[in-house]
Structure 1
Amino acid sequence: MDEDDTPAAPPRPPEVRFAVLGTVRVWRDGTELHAGPPQQQALLAVLLAGAGRAMSLPQLIGLLWGGAEPASATNVIRRYAGSLRRMIQPDLPRMASGQWLVGGGGGYRIDVDEDSLDLLGFRALYARAREARDEGLIDAAVRLYVDALALWRGPVAAGISAEVRGHPLFTQLDNERLTVAVEAADLALRHGEAGPVLASLQTLADQHRLEEHLHSKLMLALSASGRQAEALDVFHRLRDRLRTELGVEPSAVLSEAQQQVLAKTPPPAPSQARDEAERRSDQPVRRRHGSLLPRPAQLPAAPADFVGREAEVDSLLRQLTAGERTPPASSTMIINAIGGMAGVGKTTLAIHLAHRVADRYRDGQLYVDLRGFDLNGSAMTPAEAIRGFLENLGVSPQQIPDGLDAQAALYRSFLADRRMLVLLDNARDAEQVRPLLPGSAGCLVLITSRNQLSSLVAAHGAHPLALDVMSTESARESLVRRLGADRVDAEPEATQTIISLCGRLPLALSVITARALMNPRLPLGAMAEQLLEAKGSLDAFEGADRSTDIRAVFGWSYRTLSDDTARLFRLLSLHPGATFDVHSAAALGGLTVRRTRPSLAELVRAHLVAEEAGGRHRLHDLLRAYGREATDSYDTADDRDAAHDRLFRHYVQTAHTALRLLDPAHLVTVPAGIGPPAAAGPSSVEAAVRWFQQERLTLTAVVRQAVQDDRPHDAWRLARLLDSMYERVGHWHDWADLQLTALGAAQQAGEPLGVAHAHAGLGRAHSLLRRYESAEEHLCQALVLFEALGDRVGQAHCLRQLGWLMTRTERDVLAIEHTRRALDLYRAAGHLSAQADSLNALAWYQASLGACEDAVTSAVRSLLLYRRMAAGGGSGHGNTWDTLAFAHHHLGNLRRAVRCYERAVRLLRAGGDRYNEAGSLSRLGDTLALAGAAEDARARWRQAVEILTPIDPDWAAEIQEKLSATVSAS
């Protein structure tokens, strides 16, 4: 080969470095780069904090938006990823995979090492420091510790939003820094070399102003450097902050450090200090104060008319005070188990106490109603409660592990070294509560239950409190607070009779007080006589004598209701959900909404139903029990069955209405005999999502109720209607649980079609939960069943979902094959909209992979199908023209691409699809710019920015940067 024929050496890739220990920074060949708009910087920070780990799209979405992501979240992340790639490698072809930001498996990762990322450099130096320490090379170890800490320029990912930085991905890195600093201080102190670590300790102490352990090390380091006065000043300033901001005294750790400074006590012996350092290295120091993690405040409103219970409140406050005086090294969390009969005021006392002491628990309050004595048997499982807590602590559903043990471990990790108040209301037994207990000191747990939780007392040191009925004096004060002193004082004997016949039970007194308020001219003596004449009993809550029999109280209030309202009250006791709205109440009663509203208002006034926010209502457990007894007495079995059937039909009809809004092309039909979709159901996509969020738990209860009522056919069909809603809204763990119920129901009914749909739903839910292996198993089982049933559409749905799954598991060839098979089946079934949508998706996927000729063919086929449909395909028609333009752009057919984009813009604008219109305008601008029509390109970009600014400001900012750059260049 001649010398001239020698191929040129490939260009040297640029040298790229990243930093996340402080502000997020990027350098290429020594020049610092601008990392883009804030949300793009946040994406880069997340990937850098992952330090080479692949992050799936659901993980990234959860981290960046915390469960409030826009519908365009996936596209936004992909755009930012592409922008970051081109920033790092400006010559990188569009859609090409970069050298540093690597895609695959449905997500992204940054390919870095200790030389290109400061976080990995920090960890490498830390590892070498520990090796040197273990080998006895103390001077070298201290230098390595100091070098590692010097890489930190501030808090991790400083500058990005506090919501993103509050995620454990980042807070754990701050904890790593604390761990290394404390470990370095221990080593330096016991070898008389405190000077090198002082700067890092002072910097961290300024950032963690209430972290006592860190400040104790700073004090000892200052003292060892001959700066005792400064060391004592650190103690006094921190003590003042603790008293002022938290109302507490310094812990034993800080006080011991003060004594060592005063006495100039030498550091602990090497072996003792080594054991302590190694223990701490295995348990990273957590930010106990000033945490960036979310601070939940879930306590219900404080009871306005709380009276009495002085002895109980004083006892609980004494326990708290005694616990706070115990040194942290030996203290345990404080658990108070409040027990007693239903209606005795357990929850009221717990909430009152929680508000009294909430300011002592600076990291927040968690609350959950465990529904332990729900008459439908639908008590909340520990896993459901933990998932709710984790979501309120900032963990997205996608990051919650499978299995109760793993979820409980993650929950305990979040509460470790945090001062939290946890109120577990209405617990069934100790087994329901035990997984919800924090694992470390500093927390207060309040539990209410009708049962004695003796095993918690024995195994966890819980303080039991058996709550009795109110004292006569407190009961009278309660009546005075509500009815006024004049009315109560005017009839002392009647007042005493009412208190006695109510058994001094707070719930019963509340019902009677409501009746008295509604009838201000009715003498209390007349009310007392009616109570004396009342008969009946609630067997489960029958006291030793008549004075504790609340059935008489409920019966009297019930008999004051109008006939229509009394009937509605009875039937409401059949509702399986914790709360209900006026529409479901109307369905149970077989009434119009207009006729139902006055009856609900009457029940609320009588305190027989509680009104909650958002138009929801709640029936207390005791009142529900009374209603069940009343319906057994007044209504026939046929009446009750008819009410159940009406409620079921209401939820099926409304779910179908919501489904048609969320997924118009979905072919699910209302089961035979249910009737037309609900006329009063949601009327927009937003309303459909809101309805599902409110009714989600009730819908699950209705499905389970159908199983209990031996209606498995109805159960799996309603569960199927909920698939698209769960897929859109989230709560995928609950979706998987519901589909397991549906699977059992379909198997019980002996209906293969239901079994197939349940497997398909499980496959989709598990896919979103990243349980890819089990997802594939369920989808394959569903596919086999649909094939046996000859259900082409069911097969196609499974294949299309399998295709999506293949792209997440890097089997792109299989993804194409599955998608093509799905298209063939849709064609055979005559499902035009599914064919057109699938062809469009396939075309985009082909173009993204570089197979642009194939993409053009697929897009044209999609357009031909849209032309055949009477409605013209709606916004999907415009989206396909956009895909066709995208393919022509990458084929170099710029004129044709411009024409296709312009047509896409017109169709999308006519269909009111502003978001996708903006996307087409942006891409049209890119094509015009490449064709040399710079001014036309800027005009399209300006239009896109105008549309997107109120919808997706991050994307608007990205286009604005592009616009600004071209203006500057011109």
Structure 2
Amino acid sequence: MTLRIQVLGPMRAWLHDEPLPLGPPAQRAVLGLLVLAGGQPVSMAGLIDAFWGDQPPASAVNVIQTHVKRLRRLLEPGRAPHARSEVLPHLGGGYRLGVPEEQIDIMRFRRLVHHAPDGDELAALTEALTLWQGRPFADLPLLAEHPRVLSILAEHRAALGRYGAAMLAAGAVDRAISAFEEVAAADPLDEVGQARLVRAYAAAGRRAQAFHTYHAVRRHLADELGVDPGPELTAAHLEVLDEDSRAPAATGPPAASGRTVPAELPADVPGFTGRAYELDELDELTTAPEPDTVVIAVVSGTAGVGKTALATRWAHRTRARFPDGLLYIDLRGYDPEQPVSPGAALARFLRSLGLPGEQVPGDVEERAARYRSLLDGRRVLILLDNAASVDQVRPLLPGSVGSVVVVTSRDSLPGLVVRHGARRLDLDVLRREDALVLLRRLAGDWVTAQATAAEALVAQCARLPLALRIAAELVHGKTPATLADVVGELADHRSRLDLLSTGDPHSDMGIVFSWSYRDLPPDAARMFRLLGLHPGVDVDDFAASALIGGDQVGARDSLALLAGRHLVQRSGERYGLHDLLRAYAKELAARDGEADLPRRVLEFYLHTAAAAMDVLYPVERGRRPRVPHPAIAVPSLRDGTALAWLDAERANLVATAVHAAEHGQAWYPVQLALVLLRYLENGGHYADAVTLHEHALRAAESLADRRSAAQLRINLGVVAVQQGRYAEASAELQRALELAYDVGDAFVRVRALGNLGHVYQWQGRYSEAARMLTEVIDLARQTGDRGTEARGLGNLGQVRLRQDRYADAAEDLRASITICRDIGDAVGAAYALVYLGHVESALGRYDAAGEHHEHALALFRGATEPAGEAYALDGLGGVDLLRGEHERAVDRLSAALALFRQVGDRAGEARVANSLGQVAAAMGRPAEARAHHTSALRLAEEIGNRYEQSRARAALASPVEVEGRLASATSTGKTTTR
């Protein structure tokens, strides 16, 4: 007899290696119950109870007998009429399955697990686990929660645990981890399984994952059961802590797979000299004195003493201690105009740690909490440079052990020491010998030949590294015979200067700065002064030429000269100023009557930003303000460079807008905000978008420009929508709509209505959304604005889709696609195609749905629209699920999820999490399905997305996902109305 039966996964059977159609679910369930009996008879009463419980129909016996009769015909096609059945014999008032154990996969699985042939346990376990094709009876919801099915799941977890332990003993750590991860995912509250995983991660050197796993389980136990970890899990955690403390400087492996690992350290300092004692001291200060201590070290000292250089050199030397990343930020604490606020620093760090910009909370305390959560269980170095106060630093401290914080400051920051246990290193000027060595490295052998002059120059520079570097460049070309004269001239010049004071007589470096400055050619001197007025972090040669109003070649030459004399710091093709030099340059500019940033710089940034937007989003050119071409050189931007320019200059664009708003140039932030919205929104740069638009809105109101104020409120509403803040978005859009009516501007009114309709759709207010979008379409047709008409039709089609009005939705979407093709809006057409694909899925036309999604995917990829690509992949994954192609569905949905996280689309992330939950349920993985739906519910509740909330709650309320139409088919989320 060659009958084979599979139940570990979807139920299947083969006779003479030919697949058998086992019939409807109830008939397959009868066979499944007999398989679960393991060769023992199952009574008629037992079968009836499994099907109907306490309320069987009168025909129950006949129904069971009919299923058995049909199974006998199917499984024994050659059996003579009325002959005894060998496969399903009637015994003791019930039935028994008479199939040899080796021909049923669950029986073979048990034999291999419990009776390894030849004593080779690893080989037996490997063979047993290959039999596992998914949850037992994955296609039979009736048997999903049967006690014997749950028992098989427990047997599988135990086998995986034994397999992982055997692999660990054999040195195959990665395979062991995979096995333990599957066990842990199947039962998150199994402390023994979680402890195995913690130990495996530690054995692989992945301590960050070990800590993260422990803390995640600890929180889960507290939330679900209200208990602390038991002895097994606690012991595993203590073992990792002990190993970590014994090897603080060991080279670590890469961080957890899928995590963003920042590497933000500035370049190491060339010619770094001395400081051996201080480097050793930092090593000691950053070693935790106690296992549960958060390590904070403060390097304090006067301006120019080399705090940043020391911290940077130490960080590069010890970077192997921090496998989960290196965070760095210049807090600019001593810049009177542009210090970095804790909120801005947190936003940057959150993005660096992999949090999409859209998910960065608006509230500083919420940002700090999310930041601490992301650092939990990781080993990250956090270098906070140029901090002015404890208040600037405190929100940036981690909340758990593992990471190390190094702060540099001119202040000793006693509050960090008293309240947070920081350990302090007070950095003094260089030792005399080290100062001479540095001078010799920088300026050459004349230091040895003219020892007296060198000693004097070191003293005049107060043994400060910054001053020594500048002085070395000044005297590098001098002949030895003139050095004493140079030193004497410097001493005389000191008495005649209005010195730049830092508050410490040892740090009055104005004499050195002024000596360097006075030898500059006029063009370079002017460049230096005007760089002090630039509010941003650094400039390229185009922005520098805008500063001086000259040609690019001259600007580049001046920058090179300033860099050579250490008056500016060069990083690649960009140039910035040390904060002391910035203050000195700004002072010089004020003395020469150059008190503010030249208008031509603002014009340069505005024009180039607009040009970049025209390259990236040409269809929307008419919706952005037109800006004049400045009378200076500008970069030539193309498809490959426009986005790179915006990314490189984003901080400068925001900084110049803030500066202009506060210095009487209100036109600039208004125009810049109206130009940049789409870039900031699509890139997830929401913190920057809010900063820019809030300053622009105040500027527009100061100009009494109500039309621009309405536009800016619409933009703020769009940003709020993308962050899931629907109530705030609705309020901004309502105010914008009122302004649009007041000024009688139809274009602004249409924008406000369209976006407000989209907010109502997210909130489940479909009738109101449809009314507003219909008004948008009517207004667009009256004014001949085909682009707005297409967007309105596309969004209305989405609303109709959610209302299950499929014919109306299809009509609107096809009309939108036609217009988009006519006007060349490939992205708009692609979004409409995605929605049309969901209409076809809802109607059961899977081939047509797949074609629409594939077409949309190609258009999105051609337009470099990652959010749209994610929606198309999500649609294709939904079609795969409906077709039963589960593995391909997982692949596509996982790719969509990665893209949604990359662009910060939380609604898309919630949507895909729900869809992955449905696939997991269909594959017989209920624990995995519940985890996906729980994640989707949390996200949907945070952003107020009622549709995804209802999907998640419905799935979590039922132990089994119902096969059939994909419930998510009517939920796409990306708006094309702006």
SS in 2 for 1:423: strand
CA 1:863–1:785: 2 relative to 1, 3 Å: same
CA contact (8 A) 1:208 1:290 kept: no
Q: Distance in 2 between matches of 1:807 and 1:409?
A: 31
Match of 2:571 in 1: 612
Match of 1:501 in 2: 460
CA contact (8 A) 2:254 2:323 kept: no
1:468 aligns with 2:468: no
1:388 aligns with 2:348: yes
Match of 1:109 in 2: none
| Higher mean displacement: 710-719 or 652-661 | 710-719
CA 1:386–1:890: 2 relative to 1, 3 Å: closer
1:402 aligns with 2:356: no
CA distances 1:346-372 after superposition (whole Å, capped 9, x unpaired) = 111111222333333444332211121
1:300 aligns with 2:261: no
Q: Which has the larger radius of gyration?
A: 2
Q: Distance in 2 between matches of 1:913 and 1:367?
A: 34
Q: How many angstroms does 1:181 deviate by?
A: 4.9
Q: Distance in 1 between matches of 2:145 and 2:726?
A: 32
CA 1:801–1:360: 2 relative to 1, 3 Å: same
The number of aligned residues is 696
Match of 1:633 in 2: 591
Match of 2:199 among 191, 202, 205: 205
Q: Distance in 2 between matches of 1:123 and 1:208?
A: 35
CA contact (8 A) 2:813 2:836 kept: no
CA contact (8 A) 1:792 1:826 kept: no
CA contact (8 A) 2:674 2:711 kept: yes
CA distances 1:69-96 after superposition (whole Å, capped 9, x unpaired) = xxxxxxxxxxxxxxxxxxxxxxxxxxxx
Q: Distance in 1 between matches of 2:304 and 2:528?
A: 19
Matches within 5 A, 1:645-656: 645-656=599-610
Match of 1:452 in 2: 412
Taking only aligned residues, the RMSD between alpha carbons, in angstroms, comes to: 5.3
1:725 aligns with 2:679: yes
Match of 1:781 among 731, 735, 755: 735
CA 1:297–1:668: 2 relative to 1, 3 Å: same
| Higher mean displacement: 411-420 or 718-727 | 411-420
CA 1:848–1:343: 2 relative to 1, 3 Å: same
CA distances 1:117-136 after superposition (whole Å, capped 9, x unpaired) = 9xxx99999xx9xxxxxxxx
Q: Distance in 2 between matches of 1:291 and 1:912?
A: 29
Match of 2:450 in 1: 491
Q: How many angstroms does 1:495 deviate by?
A: 0.6
SS in 1 for 2:533: coil
| Higher mean displacement: 659-668 or 778-787 | 659-668
Match of 2:515 among 556, 571, 579: 556
1:413 aligns with 2:373: yes
Match of 2:787 in 1: 833
Identity %: 30
Q: Distance in 1 between matches of 2:830 and 2:694?
A: 36
Match of 1:319 among 285, 288, 305: 285
CA contact (8 A) 1:501 1:548 kept: no
Match of 1:644 among 598, 613, 620: 598
CA contact (8 A) 1:689 1:729 kept: no
Q: Distance in 2 between matches of 1:803 and 1:172?
A: 44
CA distances 1:389-432 after superposition (whole Å, capped 9, x unpaired) = 22222222233333122221222223334333221111121001
Q: How many angstroms does 1:851 deviate by?
A: 5.0
CA 1:479–1:749: 2 relative to 1, 3 Å: same
Q: Distance in 2 between matches of 1:502 and 1:815?
A: 70
Match of 1:576 in 2: 535
CA distances 1:704-735 after superposition (whole Å, capped 9, x unpaired) = 11122123343323222221221122211221
Higher relative contact order (CA 8 A, sep 6+): 2
Match of 1:428 in 2: 388
CA distances 1:556-605 after superposition (whole Å, capped 9, x unpaired) = 11122111111111111110101111121111111122321111111111
CA 1:436–1:767: 2 relative to 1, 3 Å: same
Q: How many angstroms does 1:842 deviate by?
A: 4.5
Match of 1:748 in 2: 702
Q: Distance in 2 between matches of 1:522 and 1:122?
A: 95
Q: Distance in 1 between matches of 2:386 and 2:425?
A: 14
Q: Distance in 2 between matches of 1:609 and 1:889?
A: 61
Letter of the aligned partner of 1:349 in structure 2? L
Q: How many angstroms does 1:508 deviate by?
A: 0.8
Q: How many angstroms does 1:885 deviate by?
A: 9.5
Q: Distance in 1 between matches of 2:278 and 2:840?
A: 75
Q: How many angstroms does 1:915 deviate by?
A: 9.8
CA 1:468–1:17: 2 relative to 1, 3 Å: farther
Match of 1:346 in 2: 307
CA 1:770–1:554: 2 relative to 1, 3 Å: same
Q: How many angstroms does 1:174 deviate by?
A: 9.2
Q: How many angstroms does 1:679 deviate by?
A: 6.9
Letter of the aligned partner of 1:735 in structure 2? A
CA distances 1:815-840 after superposition (whole Å, capped 9, x unpaired) = 33222211222334443333344445
Match of 1:734 in 2: 688
Q: How many angstroms does 1:645 deviate by?
A: 1.1
Match of 1:265 in 2: none
Match of 1:513 among 467, 472, 475: 472
Letter of the aligned partner of 1:302 in structure 2? D
Letter of the aligned partner of 1:618 in structure 2? G
SS in 2 for 1:579: coil
Which residues of structure 2 form unaligned runs of 5+? 1-6, 12-23, 30-134, 165-173, 215-235, 877-898, 901-978
CA contact (8 A) 2:551 2:632 kept: no
Q: Distance in 1 between matches of 2:838 and 2:294?
A: 62
CA contact (8 A) 1:747 1:755 kept: yes
Q: How many angstroms does 1:908 deviate by?
A: 8.4
TM-score (norm 1): 0.62
Letter of the aligned partner of 2:497 in structure 1? G
CA 1:878–1:514: 2 relative to 1, 3 Å: same
CA contact (8 A) 1:733 1:765 kept: no
Q: Distance in 1 between matches of 2:652 and 2:325?
A: 28
Matches within 5 A, 1:577-726: 577-613=536-572, 615-634=573-592, 636=593, 639-641=594-596, 643-664=597-618, 665-668=620-623, 670=625, 674-675=628-629, 680-726=634-680
Match of 2:90 in 1: none
CA distances 1:519-565 after superposition (whole Å, capped 9, x unpaired) = 68895445424423434244332643xx7431111111112211111
Q: Distance in 1 between matches of 2:392 and 2:862?
A: 50
CA contact (8 A) 1:847 1:886 kept: no
SS in 2 for 1:427: coil
CA 1:393–1:489: 2 relative to 1, 3 Å: same
Q: How many angstroms does 1:856 deviate by?
A: 6.6
| Higher mean displacement: 474-483 or 398-407 | 398-407
SS in 2 for 1:300: coil
SS in 2 for 1:344: coil
CA contact (8 A) 1:386 1:408 kept: yes
SS in 1 for 2:425: strand
CA contact (8 A) 1:843 1:883 kept: no
TM-score (norm 2): 0.61
CA 1:363–1:595: 2 relative to 1, 3 Å: closer
Match of 2:59 in 1: none
Letter of the aligned partner of 1:504 in structure 2? R
Q: How many angstroms does 1:912 deviate by?
A: 8.1
Q: How many angstroms does 1:115 deviate by?
A: 12
Q: Distance in 2 between matches of 1:385 and 1:585?
A: 26
Q: Distance in 1 between matches of 2:787 and 2:269?
A: 55
Q: How many angstroms does 1:890 deviate by?
A: 9.2
Match of 1:478 in 2: 438
Letter of the aligned partner of 1:566 in structure 2? A
